[in-house]
Amino acid sequence: DVKVTQSSRYLVKRTGEKVFLECVQDMDHENMFWYRQDPGLGLRLIYFSYDVKMKEKGDIPEGYSVSREKKERFSLILESASTNQTSMYLCASSSLKVTSDNYSNQPQHFGDGTRLSIL
C-alpha cells in the first residue's frame, strides 16, 4: 500500500519565519505534488516535481519554493511566512506506468495533510 507521510499534522509559526514542510513517499514514485486546501477554494496546486531536482510551478507558487534532492522526499518551503499562508497543505505522489507503447501517469496518492497556522 502506498504511503505518503507528511512530517507534521499541525504546525504553528510566526510571520516572517522560514517554514519547511516535509513529505516522504515509500513507493518510488516519480511525481510529487504540493497543494493547499482552503474552504470554498478546493485544492490548488503550488508546485510539483516529476524527477529528482526537477520542479514545475503550479497555479499559486508565489511565496513558496520546493526542494527534491532525493526521489522519496519533496519539501515545501515558505521563505517568509505570512498570515495568508495559513492553510491545510497536502502532499501527493504518483507513478508513471510504463506499458508496451507509452507512459501513463497513475492517480495521485495523498498524505494526511499538515494544518499550518501563521500567527
Residue 46's H or E segment, with its range, is strand 42-51
Could you say whether residue 108 binds another protein (CB under 8 A)?
A: yes
Q: How far is CA 104 from CA 98, 99, 101, in A?
A: 7, 8, 10
State which of residues 15, 82, 83, 105 lies at the interface with another protein (CB under 8 A): 105
Contacts of another protein in 28-47 (CB under 8 A):
31, 35, 40-45
* Cβ atoms of 79 and 61 closer than 8 Å: no
State which of residues 34, 55, 87, 111 lies at the interface with another protein (CB under 8 A): 111
State which of residues 75, 94, 114, 118 lies at the interface with another protein (CB under 8 A): 94
Could you say whether residue 76 binds another protein (CB under 8 A)?
A: no
Q: Identify which of residues 73 and 110 has a Cβ nearer to another protein in the complex.
A: 110
Which one, of 90, 119, 88, 93, lies nearest residue 10 by Cα? 88
How far is Cα 83 from Cα 69, in angstroms, rounded to an integer?
28
Q: Which residues bind another protein (CB under 8 A)?
A: 4, 31, 35, 40-45, 48, 50, 56, 58, 90, 92, 94, 105, 107-113
